Chain A
Amino acid sequence: MRVLLIEDETRLAENVAAALREGPGFAVDTAEDGEIGLYLTQDACYDLIILDLMLPKLDGLSLLKKMRAAGDRTPVLILTAQGETRSIIELLNSGADDYLSKPFDLGELIARVKALIRRGKGAAHPTLNVSNIEVNTLEQTVRRSGQIIDLSPMEYRILEYLMHRPRVVVSKRELLEHLYDYNWEHHSNVIEAHVSNLRKKLDASSAQPSIETLRGRGYRLITA
């Protein structure tokens, strides 16, 4: 999953980004002001946007409104140091999905981020099931027919992303955009290797193939 963090307080941004990378293993891009943030959202390849309210150049609320006006449906988690009910109501009514008051708990932030991404993908439960594959997003464990399969972090991320979109063809570029930060172009060669390894590990104990490659189009999770 790829998260955009728009926060002008650089130390806080560093910590949150590090926590998201180390914890759930998300790719995180950071922006220090509203204008850069808005520019980055236009790529529309984020699974979640974490937005601070008080930003230089363009404040968070205006950014949110502009983003929603442009038809961006990415879930938005607001970070705010203002606790006034009125501003929270305005935020939620302007298209925010959730908010956290500063100072917040990193664990809570990660939990909310995961929940919002899950909801954004249309899943309610942290455990994803597609045919006989089960992915527990909390423990980051993968089972096929009840048997635990050990995956590398990147293989896990690819599988989790595909699990969110069963039966849909996911292009290589989409995978790259959602699993890496803005340097994704450097990783374009390794994604094929990761998918290949993932397929081998998943199919080791099963006769049924799990991931289908559509030449020139992308990958698809096979649902029996």
Chain B
Amino acid sequence: MKTWSISRRLITTVLLVELISAVCVTGMAWFYERHTHFRSFDVMLRGRADSVLGSVQDADDPADNVILDKKDLAVPDEDIYEVWDEKGTLLGRSLNWAGTAQGSFAVNKDGYRNLNVSGKPYRFLLLHGLRVVDPGDKNGGVPHHLTIIYGSPTKHVWHAVIDAVQFYAMAGLVLLVATGIIMAWLLTRSLAPLRSLAAQAAGVSVNAWSFSPPEEARATKELAPLVSALETTLQRLERSFSQQRRFISDAAHELKTGVAVVKSSLQLLRMKERSAEEYQAGLERCEADCSRMEEIVAKMLTLARVENHETANAQPDRSTNVSEVLHQVMEQFSSMADLRGIQIVRSSRGPFYVALKAEDCGLLLSNLLLNALQHSSRGSQVMILARETDSQVEIRFEDQGDGISPEALPHIFERFYRGDPSRNRNTGGTGLGLSICKAIVDAAGGEITIDSTIGLGTTVVVRLPIAVVNPSAAPSAQVNAENLFCE
């Protein structure tokens, strides 16, 4: 995509608008100035024609004729005039004028006409005036109807008009340049927070997450949403990144420890000559060590898969019958419960449909039941209650086991966390079971809580959203027994 600059575009737009308005103003000035100048020119023309009329004097002849007396006439030399009387007699004209035929001088309705005289533009006025001369020997004056043609060059008017227009054009141009400079400066200045923000953001890396946006960027109304978006995004990224990093380091720790166990078991066997029985027992131990590592790897992969779901958003169209899965899980663990002398009591009506994959649902329930069984003592009960609340399915596992210490309780969902080492030796947990449970529940948009009292037992409550899809359309709950057995 072609890159473009906001500032350049903004400046160009503003300058273009300003240029157009400057042209308009200049054009309007042109019309206005021309109009006013010519109006005053016309008034002047009429005044001069009047003074020509005033210069028409009694000729002192018996016919009471009049003549043009140029003696007192003070008009510019370049002006042109011509005076006729009603009988068609030319009374006088200016020296620079060859004249025109009487009555043939056509003018517009106001009496004006523009004409080029010897290459120069002139404006003429045709004035019909009445001059009364009083010879003194008769009764009253003798009226003379005179026709005056008066012209003056328009050169000066045009000069004035052009000067005015030039002034407007120059002013517009100066304004244009000034605007351009000021805008460029202003934009550079107001975009400075954006640049420092970009510099800050560019400094963020997986090793240096600290992001402190410049105060001026936060104070800029337009940048504030960007700043807060950047902050929250970075926080989210950092959280998930450090989570991943911790997972990798935890996983590496677990695997290295696993390898250390296998390696040391083998080296111990080789330390000295041993009997066949000792070798046999040692190899069996090694095999058990390997199985444990295998289990850790399998669980880590399960956790990664479930967490991947979480980030990719669980499919809400899943629908699984909790009651059915619970039934299968209980069947699966019934022999183990019998062996340990633990009674599993189930209290649920059903069916309840939750928005979970059947496989994940089975994993969740079997992990929780296994935990309850492992921490229960002989002769105790494990209660499983499932019920539907407003928009959730609540599944409750209650055991009468040894409980979890208050210090361990907040960490119980952490990966590879093992509450009590002595318990760990008995049950051989990987410390991933509850993390997997939490990841499954989180992915489904539910919640899981643990409440425990030392010596009295532990209660795990899982709340899952009810499936919205038609249960008959959903695939029937198929639980893979091999996947379920995790501890």
Contact = CB atoms under 8 A, between A and B. Distances in A.
Interface stretch (B46-54, B114-122, B181-189, B254-262): B254-262
Central interface residue in B261, B265, B272, by most chain A CB within 10 Å: B261
Interface in A36-61: 54, 56
B467 to A, nearest CB: 40
Contact of A102 (B249, B260, B267, B271): B260
A82 interface: yes
A16 B264 CA distance: 7
Contacts of B421: 8, 10, 32-33, 56
A23 interface: yes
Contact of A105 (B267, B420, B425): B267
B252 interface: yes
A33 B257 CA distance: 16
A101 B292 CA distance: 21
Q: Which bracket fits the contact residues of A?
A: 20 to 34
B271 A15 contact: no
Interface string A10-28: 1110011011001100000
Contacts of B252: 81
Given A11-B289, A22-B272, A32-B421, A81 B257 contact: yes
B145 interface: no
B257 A15 contact: no
Q: Which bracket fits the contact residues of B?
A: 20 to 34
B264 A106 contact: yes
Given A18-B268, A54-B253, A102 B259 contact: yes
Contacts of B253: 54, 81-82
Contacts of B422: 32
B263 interface: yes
Contact of B265 (A11, A32, A107): A11
B418 interface: yes
5 nearest A-B pairs in the assembled complex, by CB-CB distance: A103-B260, A15-B264, A106-B267, A102-B260, A81-B256
Nearest to B272: A22
Contacts of A81: 252-253, 256-257, 260
B264 A9 contact: no
Nearest to A23: B271
B257 A9 contact: yes
5 contacts: A10-B425, A15-B268, A19-B271, A22-B272, A102-B260
Contacts of A184: none
Contact of B260 (A12, A18, A54, A107): A12
Given A8-B421, A81-B257, A82-B249, A103 B268 contact: no
A32 B419 CA distance: 12
Given A103-B256, A103-B263, 16 more contacts: A8-B421, A8-B424, A9-B257, A11-B261, A12-B257, A15-B267, A22-B271, A32-B421, A33-B421, A56-B418, A56-B420, A102-B259, A103-B260, A103-B264, A106-B263, A106-B271
Nearest to B267: A106
B256 to A, nearest CB: 4
A19 B267 contact: yes
A36 to B, nearest CB: 9
B71 to A, nearest CB: 117
Contacts of B256: 81, 101-103
Contacts of B262: 103
B260 to A, nearest CB: 4
A116 B259 CA distance: 25
B265 A102 contact: no
B261 A12 contact: yes
A106 B257 contact: no
Contacts of B259: 102-103
Contacts of A106: 263-264, 267-268, 271
Nearest to A9: B257
B247 to A, nearest CB: 14
Contacts of B249: 82
Interface in B429-459: none
Contacts of B272: 22
A12 B425 CA distance: 12
A15 B420 contact: no
Given A81-B256, A102-B256, A103-B259, A12 B420 contact: no
A143 to B, nearest CB: 23
A44 B289 CA distance: 34
A202 to B, nearest CB: 27
Interface string B231-242: 000000000000
A33 B420 CA distance: 9
Contacts of B292: 11
B414 to A, nearest CB: 12
Contacts of A101: 256
Interface string A151-179: 00000000000000000000000000000
